[in-house]
Amino acid sequence: MALTATIDLTRRTVAIAPTSQAALDRFLGGRGLGLSLLWQHVAGPLDPLGPDNPLIFTTGPFTGTSWPAGARGHVTFHSPLTGVYGYANSGGHFWAALAHCGFDALVVLGQAAEPVRLDVTTGAVAILPAADLWGLTTAVTHDRLGASSDVRVACIGPAGENGVRIAGIMNDRSRAAARAGGGAVMGSKRLKAVVAHDTKPEPAPRPFPKVAGEMSRKTHKHGESQALHRWGTPLLIRPKNMSGDLPAFNHQAGQVPFYAQIDAEAIDRYVTRHKSCHACPIGCDHETRVADGPYATELGGPEYETVDALGPMLGLADIEAIIYANRLCNDLGLDTISTGVCIAFAMELRQRGLYADPEFSLAWGDPASILGLIQAIAYRQGTGDILADGVKRAAEKLGPQTMPYALHVKGMELPRQEPRIAKAFGLGHMTSNRGADHLYALPTVDIASNWEAARALFPAEMLPKLMDLADETYKADLVAYSEDYSAVSDALGICKFATTETFALMPEDVAAGLSALRGKPITAAELLRAGERMVNLERLYNARLGLTRADDRLPARFTSEPLPIHTFARDEATGEISKSESPIHIGLVHDPDAMLDRYYRLRGWDARGLPTEEKLRALGLDGSLPTSWATDERR
Amino acid sequence: MNADEREEQVNIHIRYHGIFAAIAACREERLALPDGASVGDALRLVGRRHPALNEALFLASSALAPYARPFVNGALADELSRPLRDGDEIALLPALSGGMG
């Protein structure tokens, strides 16, 4: 059973039909299916918070199966944060339940007159009243809806209800489809929650469980899987600090001397248990508990991105306060990355004498300012109301003198990599079609010293430069490949920790699994072609809105402010950590245009970053071209 | 008596990659270790030579950091107790990875 439900909240109607096989053949499912449905429903500019913006929940063919880490799902929409193509992706168990109910897609249209929730059972969707849930935090909403192993919940918090453009959607209490403002779209529809009642899935075709089992064992045995299971993503904090890739003080620094207070070992003291998303042989997730004191709380997490966004980025060294701030963001339904970057922006403006708040000091590391602003953003109060629209709009409101400190690409706040050190990630932030994003490409091969993957994927003569973090020559090659494979991962409903993060599974492995599941062969090359097709249609969606090369641009800080990187040593007697006087390296993005030029050439796009007709024809997307394409003045 | 002071009988080569090369301020070194020395002994020796590298390689618990990957003659050394032989080459790679979640 492969169903798409179209739910019109204005008319209060639900129409259920088989999912388009043509769409699945071309775009696989998940992110690809969401994209093709968005493309059908949106023909040009629209009010992202109006009734015409579809909110599309999709699962992939592997979601909810026994495929390793087949836990992911996707939400696609026209972003209220960027004004262009938007999506968010998360793991947990909600998506598996949605897939077990038989749904590839829920397409939510219109706006309800009163708050509602969707109740999803096998082959059916009901629109139910939810006025009693409006205003509640995401945690209390989960409680009220009876969230359990049989009842899986995705919902918004007050931030989404209040139209905060950096609001996300929380599922399974602590998993976040966080980015690009999907929570605000859901709030604009007065849709508080989607509840999926899990049921026994249809049995997979006979060869599939065997292939999935083999791949699960392969993923489990991978060295990085073992480290992720033990430490979770916070294991990144320490090495990133050593390399200068731990953004701090709104990217005025790439290292902090207090790294040992917030790293994986520090967090480990608060870990109460390890847990896994559906069918995951890695199990990187963990729960933490601060037992007492002003920051007493319980949390699913924290993850690396959040620790940096709410810690070093804000100069905050207190791990208990970081955990508490993370929980607060989850409860209110805020994207922790964007929230941290927005607060860092305000703090740097205060540092430079460009802004002051009557209530909060905005001093670096001040927990009262950080926790107070998180609340103020969610409820659109004072400075929080300005930041609630993201740093781009906030800078436009506060004046041109503030714009250099608003760190975004295409209007979305930068995730937690330092582009002057992690050059491939920097390029990935630039080219991502949903705005600055570490997961759109997830180009890890060089920074992870993954020579095995590098040798398998790229010509030998490229490798010395490609694997050199500081060398910009072949970063485009790494980004273009990773974007395609990441798109495949998102479309199939699998976690990138098994694919582009680690390459525990190569495209050939994934193709073997999909062939077994569908009962018809697909090659690795065909899979990657589908990924490329997605990236091109996403680019076309944005090009139709007028985006071009000028929008593939990093903030000037990364190309004009050299970043000195130091070493740290610990005094064995006192335990004190000291920073070297002289830097060992100076980070800077030297030639973003050269990286972009090569990336566009590899993609078969023109110098303006727009897909050529030849490329679109080759991908079977020529029917998607606007009739005015050839003469469009924007080009 | 520590590994530095004992009779030196095993000569090995260590190559630093990525951030480890920057922290050690060199790409490779030759090490002389006593007979029976292990991968862990070699890493602790370079840690003493380069305190900043020591901070990068070892956790507060003295365990090897999970992102530090020592390869001996091209094969990942799963155990620090793995003994070294004369002429062995250690490649020390950082697995920093990207960040997620």
- What domains lie within chain A, and their CATH numbers? 3-197 (3.60.9.10), 222-406 (1.10.569.10), 423-555+590-624 (1.10.599.10)
In this prediction, residues A531-558 reach a mean pLDDT of: 97
Does the beta-carbon distance from A450 to B66 stay under 8 Å? no
Amino acid residing at A470: A
A233, A264, A447 ranked by CB distance to B100: nearest: A233
ipTM of the complex: 0.81
Closest to B74 measured CA to CA, from A190, A127, A451: A451
B38 to chain A, minimum CA–CA distance in Å? Answer: 21
> Residue A563: what are its φ and ψ, rounded to 5°?
-115, 105
Residue A456 backbone class (left: φ over 0; alpha: ψ -120 to 50; beta: rest): alpha
Structure token pair of residue A326: 């993370």
Judged by CB atoms closer than 8 Å, whether chains meet at B51 and A417 is answered as no
Residue A346 backbone zone (phi > 0: left; psi -120 to 50: alpha; other: beta): alpha
Q: Write the residue in A417, A501, A584 that is nearest to B23 by C-beta.
A: A584
pLDDT digits 0-9 by tens, A60-99: 999 999 999 999 999 999 999 999 999 999 999 999 999 9
- Distance (Å, rounded) from C-alpha A341 to C-alpha A405? 10
Compute the distance between CA of residue A200 and CA of residue A102 in angstroms, rounded to an integer: 10
pLDDT at site A302: 97
Residue ranges of chain B with per-residue pLDDT less than 50: 1, 3, 101
How far CA A57 is from CA of A109, A152, B95, in Å, comes to 12, 14, 34
Domain boundaries, chain B: 9-94
Amino acid at A572: E
A72, A228, A230, A242: which to substitute to probe chain B, counting the most B Cβ within 10 Å?
A242
Contact A196, A96 (CB under 8 A): no
Whole-number pLDDT of residue A629: 45
For residue A318, the model assigns a pLDDT of 98
Query: How far B81 CA sits from the closest chain A CA (Å)?
Result: 18
Strands A116-121 and A191-197, sheet pairing? parallel
Band of residue A559 on the pLDDT scale cut at 50, 70, 90: very high
Residue type, A522: I
Parallel, antiparallel, or unpaired for β A103-109 and A3-8?
Answer: parallel
In angstroms, how far is CA A17 from the centroid of its own chain?
Answer: 29
Which DSSP state fits A62? T
Least CB–CB distance from B55: residue in A265, A301, A568: A568
**Cβ contact A424:A478 at 8 Å:** yes
Contacts of A109 (CB under 8 A, 6+ apart): A6, A7, A8, A9, A10, A41, A51, A54
Q: What angle do CA A569, A572, A576 make, to 5 degrees?
A: 60
Hey, are the CB atoms on A447 and B55 less than 8 Å from each other? no
CA distances from A88 to A249, A331, B88 (A): 26, 18, 48
Q: What is the DSSP string of A121-189?
A: ETTEEEEEE-TTTTT--HHHHHHHTT-SSSEEEEE--HHHHTT-TTB-EEETTTEEE-GGGHHHHHHHT
Three-class DSSP category at A426? helix
Cross-chain Cβ contact A449/B69 below 8 Å:
yes
| Residues above pLDDT 90, as percent of chain A | 91
At A481-524, the pLDDT tens digits run 999 999 999 999 999 999 999 999 999 999 999 999 999 999 99
CB contact under 8 Å between B98 and A580, yes or no, is: no
Residue A13 has pLDDT above 90, yes or no: yes
Q: How far is A627 from chain B (nearest CA, A)?
A: 40
Starting from the edge strand earliest in sequence, which strands make up the sheet with A271-275, in order? A271-275, A285-290, A297-300
Q: Quick check: B100 and A442 CB within 8 A?
A: yes
Question: pLDDT tens digits, residue range A197-244?
Answer: 999 998 999 999 999 999 999 999 987 888 889 899 998 899 899 989
Nearest to B98 among A235, A444, A565 (CB): A444
Q: What is the mean pLDDT of chain A?
A: 95
Q: Chains A and B: how many Cβ contacts under 8 Å? A: 120
CB contact under 8 Å between A569 and B94, yes or no, is no
- Interchain contact, A305 vs B59, CB within 8 Å: no
Long-range (24+ apart) CB contacts under 8 A made by A358-363 are A358/A382, A359/A383
Decide if B65 and A439 are in contact by the 8 Å CB cutoff.
no
**Residue contact A243–B25, C-beta within 8 A:** no
Q: What is the pLDDT of residues A348-383, one digit of tens each?
A: 999 999 999 999 999 999 999 999 999 999 999 999
Out of A243, A425, A569, the one facing B52 most closely (by C-beta) is A569
pLDDT of amino acid B7: 59
What residues are paired with A7 via a beta bridge?
A14, A108
Phi, then psi, of A387 in degrees rounded to 5:
-75, -20
Alpha carbon of A233: minimum distance to chain B alpha carbons (Å): 7
Whether A279 and A208 have beta carbons less than 8 Å apart is answered as no
Average pLDDT of the residues in A129-134: 98
Averaged pLDDT, A281-295? 96
Which residues of B fall within a CB distance of 8 Å from A580? 52
Mention every residue, 6+ apart, whose C-beta is less than 8 A from residue A208: A65, A66, A513, A516, A517
User: B96 to chain A nearest CA, in Å?
Assistant: 5
Q: Which residue has the tokens 């500019």?
A: A45
Paired residues of A605 in beta bridges: A611
For position B61, what pLDDT does the model report?
A: 82
Q: Across the interface, which of A260, A415, A580 has its CB nearest the CB of B60?
A: A260
Q: pLDDT (tens digit, 9 = 90+) per residue, A563-579?
A: 999 999 988 888 899 99
What is the arrangement of strands in the sheet containing A85-90, beginning at the earlier edge strand?
A: A13-18, A3-8, A103-109, A55-59, A73-78, A85-90
Chain B residues with CB inside 8 Å of A452's CB? none
- Domain B9-94's class? alpha beta
Please tell me the distance from the alpha carbon of residue A32 to that of residue A504, in angstroms, as a whole number: 23
Q: How far is B8 from chain A (nearest CA, A)?
A: 26
